[in-house]
Amino acid sequence: MKLGRMNHIGVATPDLDAAIAFYRDVMGATDITEPFVLESQQVRVCFVNTPGESGTAGTQVELLQPTTPDSAVGKWLEKNPLGGQHHICYEVPDIHAAKAWFEKLGKRVLGEPRVGAHGTLIFFVHPRDMGGQLTEIMEAPTHEH
């Protein structure tokens, strides 16, 4: 497996609308997607698009608000009530090959690949196996599957 582009940093928040206002009014973000609910992960989500260099796409900030307190993000916010960095996401060309790679190395893959907020397949790797950071692996959006 080869490390791909960092697609986004997931930031959990107890109030998505307040987080959007913060990125717009304090951080100067001008490109923020419309929020939508991702039922499969029980979150309301949107993306803050950061500028890239030389025509490339910048890394996104994925803002996540749980739709229920017993969701994974809801439980995380219970321990971190102010919110903050929840996960980091890297792109790979082949999600199934990446999953096999991490499992071969003995890393704890959390569940089977499933459709994420970008509409491509994702999975997470346990933070205890990733230097303390919950890591999302995402099939690159341009990859046909």
User: What is the CATH classification number for the domain harbouring 23?
Assistant: 3.10.180.10
Of the pLDDT bands very low, low, confident and very high (cuts 50, 70, 90), residue 143 is very low
The number of folded domains in the chain is: 1
* Given 62, 91, 136, 139, the catalytic residue: 136
Q: Assess if residue 130 is contained within a domain.
A: yes
Alpha-carbon distance 84 to 81, whole Å? 9
> φ and ψ at 92, to 5 degrees?
-135, 155
* Residue 136 falls in the annotated catalytic set: yes
pLDDT tens figures, 51-70: 888 877 889 999 999 999 99
102: left (phi over 0), alpha (psi -120 to 50) or beta: alpha
Q: Assess if residue 144 is contained within a domain.
A: no
Q: Which domain holds residue 63?
A: 6-139
Q: Assess if residue 96 is contained within a domain.
A: yes
Q: What is the pTM of this model?
A: 0.91
pLDDT tens figures, 94-122: 999 999 999 999 999 999 999 999 999 99
Q: Assess if residue 145 is contained within a domain.
A: no
The share of the chain scoring above pLDDT 70, in percent, equals 97
